[in-house]
Amino acid sequence: MDAILTEFQNLNIGKVLKNEPLLHHTTIKIGGPADLFIEPSSAENLKKAMDVIEKHKIKWRAIGRGSNLLVSDKGIEGAVIKLGSGLSHLNINETEITVGGGHSLVSLSTLISKKGLTGLEFASGIPGSVGGAVYMNAGAHGSDISKILTKAHILFDDGKMEWLTNEEMEFSYRTSVLQKKRSGIVVEAVFQLAAGDRAAIVSQMQKNKDYRKETQPWNFPCAGSIFRNPLPNYAGNLIEVAGLKGFSIGGAKISEMHGNFIVNAGNATAGDVLALIQHVKDTIYSLYEVKMETEVEIIGKK
């Protein structure tokens, strides 16, 4: 691995680190080390990194801002590619925007609202990257990425880059083709928005932000919603009615504000969170015969 590390560093593609603790790169502040941690300084350098990964057949995965992610205490084998400021470009062409996969979704929605463009209000409190949001079809307040995405520029693990249309992304509830069929990185996305009343858009954005602050525990490290809603039921409601709010294992605790959030209440491990997830699954099934499926992505060495 040292020889491969040197090969990456000699390419001068951005930040390249060995055994980087991923707890520094996840919103729940949990995660062991990545064998290699790469943060490319541009889309071109991301392509160069993927070429080396493909040449050496290195296992890899991409992350953005680390939300909706639970990384094993043992870390991740191979390379972790972080989409950061090097892929946060933004171009606004009337009502169409092209944005890099590393751009913060929250800051994007705030900026766009000030331009008087509507369509991204739902994203005002989603603490992830554009790439991650497209990857998992992130949504809230009755809307999601599939409603606004025209196409996405994807770098696949064979080094090829392709534009996929909205239809080709095969969006469904909190998922896309990138989870179901083809492994790739969202380099950039094109969103089609609409002109709207700036004051009304900003007002709706603030309401969405206030609602999140009032109902969700963003003052603690967390990964966002842990379970998918087992419609017609809602995960948070089932967990609350089951009396599990506030229940903890180790440093992991079910939020007292919202049942579908597990917070890092102090030095929690991935093992603590996984044990708590299993306890919720077992409890909900025994009470209601409802199978709970995780929305948070669980990755890393077992």
pLDDT in tens, 243-286: 999 999 999 999 999 999 999 999 999 999 999 999 999 999 99
Could you tell me whether strands 252-254 and 248-249 are parallel, antiparallel, or unpaired per DSSP bridges? antiparallel
pLDDT at 94: 96
Q: What is the total residue count of the chain? A: 302
Q: What is the pTM of this model?
A: 0.90
- In the set 104, 129, 225, 255, the catalytic residue is 225
* CA proximity to 46, closest of 6, 21, 16, 1: 16
- Give catalytic status of residue 129 as yes or no: no
pLDDT at 43 over 90: yes
pLDDT at 82: 96
Taking the C-alpha atoms of residue 102 and residue 276, their distance in angstroms, rounded to an integer, is: 31
What string of DSSP letters covers 229-251? --TTS-HHHHHHHTT-TT-EETT
Last residue of a domain, one of 200, 233, 253: 200
40 pLDDT band (50/70/90 cuts)?
Answer: very high
- Give catalytic status of residue 295 as yes or no: yes
Last residue of a domain, one of 200, 229, 260: 200
Domain presence at residue 189: yes
Q: Taking residues 186-191, report their average pLDDT.
A: 98
pLDDT at 1 over 80: no
Are 116 and 181 in a shared domain?
Answer: yes
| Tokens matching residue 61 | 């995965």
pLDDT at 2: 83
Q: Any idea what DSSP says for residue 219?
A: T
Q: Taking residues 275-299, report their average pLDDT.
A: 97
159 pLDDT band (50/70/90 cuts)?
Answer: confident
Are 35 and 74 in a shared domain?
Answer: yes
Are 92 and 155 in a shared domain?
Answer: yes
Q: Using CB atoms within 10 A of its CB, is residue 281 exposed (0-12), middle (13-18) or buried (19+)?
A: middle
172 pLDDT band (50/70/90 cuts)?
Answer: very high
pLDDT digits (tens, 9 = 90+) for 110-139: 999 999 999 999 998 888 899 999 999 999
pLDDT at 95: 97
pLDDT at 155: 95
Provide the mean pLDDT of the chain.
94
Taking the C-alpha atoms of residue 100 and residue 89, their distance in angstroms, rounded to an integer, is: 5
Q: Taking residues 147-157, report their average pLDDT.
A: 95
Are 139 and 233 in a shared domain?
Answer: no
Residues 6+ apart with CB under 8 A from 155: 46, 47, 50, 161, 184, 185, 187
Helix locations, the chain, DSSP H: 2-11, 43-56, 105-114, 130-136, 177-180, 198-215, 235-241, 270-288
Q: Are 201 and 116 in contact (CB under 8 A)?
A: yes
Domain presence at residue 209: no
% of the chain residues with pLDDT over 90: 86
> Rg (Cα) of the chain, in Å, rounded?
19
In the block, residue with structure tokens 């739902």: 122
Last residue of a domain, one of 66, 82, 98: 82
Taking the C-alpha atoms of residue 241 and residue 243, their distance in angstroms, rounded to an integer, is: 5
Domain that holds residue 273: 218-299
157 pLDDT band (50/70/90 cuts)?
Answer: confident
Domain presence at residue 29: yes
Q: Which amino acid is at 233?
A: N
- In the set 174, 188, 212, 255, the catalytic residue is 174
Phi, psi of 47 (to 5 degrees): -60, -40
pLDDT at 158: 83
- Give catalytic status of residue 174 as yes or no: yes
Asked if residue 127 has a cis previous peptide bond (ω within 30° of 0), the answer is no
Taking the C-alpha atoms of residue 182 and residue 186, their distance in angstroms, rounded to an integer, is: 12
Domain presence at residue 211: no
